[in-house]
């Protein structure tokens, strides 16, 4: 009985770790701009990674990305399981890159990881759009007006091809549910 309570206690404490959540409130900006408008002193938490106090964090893709003309992205926006897998792979690669002592090699490693992340995201987008096209085709073949589904090469099939190639749907395709 005591053992069971102890296990539940440990499980309860361990489950607390999944409660961690945070988000950036308002705008964020590159670290170099921190003191551009700020006065002397201040209470900003600046990670040191070592020593007493401070934050230890893993390198993160969007932080190493080139500057965005619309300003930096401040929060993670999940794009679904495929994107999350890309992110997880990037995190693993980043941790490995951070272990490289030589600055040039480390940067090359980070650039490669970033490029792989972008490729992975593009693949997800492509897969996602292909899946959408397939779903629309299935729906078209089942529920669209008869003329959409008749003929040797059905309008549904033609619209599916247009969808896969990224072309906007024609007026016929719109009527057939694309």
Partner 1 sequence: MDELCSVLPGTGRLGVGVYNQTSVAFGYAWKDVDVRIGPSLSLYSMPACGAKLCGRVVGLAPGGHAQANVYFAGPVGVSVSANVDWVGGRSLVLPGGFAAMIVAGPVFRWRSM
Within a 10 A sphere around the Cβ of 97, how many other Cβ atoms?
A: 21
Q: Does 153 bind partner 1 (CB under 8 A)?
A: no
| 60 touches partner 1 by CB under 8 A | yes
């999350």: which residue's tokens?
Answer: 84
Q: Is 137 exposed, middle or buried (0-12, 13-18, 19+ CB in 10 A)?
A: buried
Note whether 158 binds partner 1 by CB under 8 A: no
Among the listed ranges 32-40, 124-132, 143-151, 160-168, the one in contact with partner 1 (CB under 8 A) is 32-40
Beta carbons within 10 angstroms of residue 34's beta carbon: 12
Dist CA 46 CA 13 (whole Å): 28
Output the CA angle 41-43-46, nearest 5 degrees. 100
* Cα distances (Å, whole numbers) of residue 107 to 94, 103, 104, 130: 10, 6, 5, 34
Find the shortest distance in angstroms from Cβ 105 to partner 1: 18
In angstroms, give the least distance from the CB of 145 to partner 1. 44
Site pattern 80..119 for partner 1 (x: CB under 8 A):
-----------x----------------------------
Q: Is 26 in the site for partner 1 (CB under 8 A)?
A: yes
Q: How many residues does the chain have?
A: 178
Q: Does 73 bind partner 1 (CB under 8 A)?
A: yes
Interface pick for partner 1 out of 21, 103, 104, 153 (rule CB under 8 A):
21
Binding-site ranges for partner 1 (CB under 8 A): 13, 16-17, 19-31, 33-39, 41-47, 52-60, 62-64, 72-77, 91
């Amino acid at each position: 009985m005591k053992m069971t309570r102890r296990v539940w206690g440990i499980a309860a404490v361990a489950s607390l770790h999944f409660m961690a959540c945070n988000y950036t409130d308002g705008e964020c900006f590159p670290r170099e701009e921190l003191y551009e408008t700020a006065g002397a002193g201040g209470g900003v938490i600046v990670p040191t990674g070592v020593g007493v106090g401070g934050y230890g964090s893993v390198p993160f893709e969007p932080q190493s990305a080139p500057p965005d003309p619309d300003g930096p992205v401040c929060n993670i926006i999940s794009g679904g399981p495929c994107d999350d897998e890309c992110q997880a792979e990037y995190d693993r690669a980043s941790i490995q890159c951070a272990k490289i002592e030589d600055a040039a090699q480390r940067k090359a490693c980070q650039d490669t990881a970033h490029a792989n992340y972008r490729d992975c995201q593009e693949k997800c987008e492509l897969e996602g759009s292909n899946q959408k096209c397939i779903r629309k085709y299935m729906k078209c073949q089942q529920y669209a007006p008869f003329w959409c589904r008749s003929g040797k090469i059905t309008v549904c099939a033609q619209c599916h091809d247009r969808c896969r190639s990224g072309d906007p749907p024609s007026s016929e395709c719109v009527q057939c549910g694309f």
